[in-house]
Structure 1
């Protein structure tokens, strides 16, 4: 039973090409037509042979009667009618002809046999004609055969058309799907269950293309929606403080200073958001340039660490930098990635917490690590932390200013374009560890190319 199920399953996976199917269809049609022709001809020949044997038997009996002079007491007319034949006896010396039975009419090709009787006193020629041979072996083998052949050709043509239509169904479905696709509905797909040939591959490729188009379109819609939402917040804040400044700013210096400070702060947040949106737009269009060069990454990380200490005096910023570590990469983008992670560490690490930055050589690679003792990331948020505009629940509830959910998306893009790897370890309430691993290609040439 299991073998039968396995065989049935294997049969479903067998792939038949269109050429093989078409060859099988036309071979079957030709074979059926040839078999019908041969069969019908064989039948007609057999029927004619049966009638010829019957004629020979009748002719032999007539010949026997005449040879032995027993024709006078024999009723040839009744004999002819009983055997459905026409008998003609022609006496050569006398020039007389005797006929028995009903003579066939028309110009049909009747089966007949002729016997010569050579008697000393009376020579005769006997002709026996089968009255039915024209209707069975003649009419049927000619008119009937043409009718049957025409009907067979019609059946074969219809069957072939249906089979070809079934084979071409995926193309018809693709045409209908292509016509029905619009920005409002990208969910249409082609059924590939009933096909297992090149058309199935074409349909699967078409479905895959639609999947990518739909995913890209939905991603674009989410991007526009999320970007609009993120821009709405600073614009609302700026508008609110501008109205407050217009109403009370001239009378209350405290209101004026607070409003100006908030407007500047939100303007900076909006500027940063727009810059990141433009960065990701260039990345999606593969127009973001990457300038690879050999540089001292130890010095770069040391400079970033010093800047961080000046910016975030409320955190203990510690560095562990191995001197003389070189890397072939884009220094500006590496700096952008490290700063983006450090910004998150400063935002989500409480005052007095520690932020540790390290840079070291690895086996065939360079490792940059940032560890903090901040709020950490929940397990359920880890798979989505690099998605655009994604914010963990803890971040949303905390209401952290300046968090757009784009920083880590940019970090991931930068690391991947350098053929690197990001390792993320985090536990809610204990802190987070980011590790960048870049391959050390030791290429000293400076190159610039679009990502």
Structure 2
């Protein structure tokens, strides 16, 4: 195929060159001589000339029986069978159109094309013997790693999710692809382990209240029917543990909806100060054991879910109350910094170590100093607060020193503000 295309291209090129250098001059000469055409001295391989009238009847030379031809099939047939090239054109003479066929010998050009075709074929055959082994080795070198990568990826399952691609000996592009794949698998494995840990921790949190409820039910079954004190104690304990389980399950469902992107925020315009004053009033009603200070320096208009924003702030205040000793100091303030309305909660509580600051927003995580039975909690509050704040395109920051207290800041984008 390549040889045929090459030889055909060569013939086309040669005929175009021949047409420019020779045929155009012959055609012009014939037009000038007509009707007295003199071609006694034929040169440059000219074989014959035929002139036809508008009805394609021969007018030169007389008695010629050849038909006018401008069909490409006839031209190609003449070229390969007779080694002759037919050029067709027309011209005007005294208001009438005449048609012209000029035939040239093309033996030398056909022979040259045949030699070129043969050389191309021989070169192709030689190239096959020389380059096929090279291409085969190169192809294996390129395809081999891809095949190995495919086989390795087929073996990756939940049970061996730590499998990674070997990037040694791969080409630059494949090496980059392998590294990207391994990094993706690292993220998947980390997420899978986090999910497993989350399920394990949630199961553990639920196991305790279920065990307590089961214990009191057994105690009721044995003695509660006749002992009113045991009956009242059991009912109170079961009620408390049921409420604890309900609170945990609601928090888990909130996080699950966030993960599935089905958490809906009912947003509205409102002044944040109104929400903060509600929180101030409620906090002073439920907590009389700490020194509470509230200072709201500026007001702002937010477009947000009022209920969720209040929930996030309450979580931080409840944490401050929970982890601050009696008569400790808790300060809630608010102000504007650039594009954010900031609500800051400061306390003089037990604080946290630096290693805990990176994990406190993880689900079900509790620092060592907060794991006492008296403090309680599930370790989901801060995770929920972060979800709410980020869901409103805000930020949440924390500073803490072990034994000295903590400082949480919620930063929310606002619409406008007035001096308060």
Q: Same fold (TM over 0.5)?
A: yes
CA apart distance, 1:283: 0.9
Q: Following superposition of structure 1 onto structure 2, how do residues 142-161 of structure 1 map, counting pairs within 5 Å?
A: 153-154=128-129, 156-161=131-136
Q: 1:227-283 deviations in whole A, cap 9, x for unaligned? A: 111111111111112222332323333332222222222111111111111111111
Contact between 2:396 and 2:408, CA under 8 Å: does it hold in 1? yes
SS in 1 for 2:265: strand
Query: Match for residue 344 of structure 2?
Result: 369
Q: Given the alignment, which residue of 316, 322, 326 partners 2:291?
A: 316
Query: Match for residue 378 of structure 2?
Result: 404
Query: Match for residue 425 of structure 1?
Result: 399
Contact between 1:170 and 1:200, CA under 8 Å: does it hold in 2? no
Q: 1:134-188 deviations in whole A, cap 9, x for unaligned? A: xxxxxxxxxxxxxxx9898556423321211111234213311221011101112
Distance 2:288 2:234 in 1: 25
Query: Match for residue 8 of structure 1?
Result: none
User: Residue 354 in 1 paired to residue 329 in 2?
Assistant: yes
Q: Given the alignment, which residue of 149, 154, 170 partners 1:174?
A: 149
Contact between 1:241 and 1:262, CA under 8 Å: does it hold in 2? yes
Q: Following superposition of structure 1 onto structure 2, how do residues 236-385 of structure 1 map, counting pairs within 5 Å?
A: 236-322=211-297, 324-385=299-360
Distance 2:144 2:363 in 1: 41
Q: Label 1:291 to 1:196 Cα distance change in 2 as closer, same or farther (>3 A).
A: farther
Distance 1:287 1:313 in 2: 39
Contact between 1:424 and 1:434, CA under 8 Å: does it hold in 2? yes
For the pair shown, which has the larger CA radius of gyration, 1 or 2? 1
User: Residue 413 in 1 paired to residue 377 in 2?
Assistant: no
Q: TM-score, normalised by structure 1?
A: 0.61
Contact between 1:386 and 1:408, CA under 8 Å: does it hold in 2? yes
User: Residue 438 in 1 paired to residue 412 in 2?
Assistant: yes
Contact between 1:309 and 1:317, CA under 8 Å: does it hold in 2? yes
Query: Match for residue 109 of structure 1?
Result: none
SS in 2 for 1:384: coil
SS in 1 for 2:358: helix
Q: 1:23-76 deviations in whole A, cap 9, x for unaligned? A: xxxxxxxxxxxxxxxxxxxxxxxxxxxxxxxxxxxxxxxxxxxxxxxxxxxxxx
Contact between 2:323 and 2:375, CA under 8 Å: does it hold in 1? no
User: Residue 226 in 1 paired to residue 207 in 2?
Assistant: no
Distance 1:325 1:151 in 2: 83
Q: Unpaired runs of 5+ in structure 2? A: 1-123
Which stretch of the first structure deviates more once superposed, 367-376 or 191-200? 191-200
Alignment RMSD (CA, Å): 2.7
Distance 2:355 2:214 in 1: 36
Q: TM-score, normalised by structure 2?
A: 0.65
Q: Unpaired runs of 5+ in structure 1? A: 1-148, 444-451
Q: Label 1:161 to 1:400 Cα distance change in 2 as closer, same or farther (>3 A).
A: farther
Contact between 2:392 and 2:412, CA under 8 Å: does it hold in 1? yes
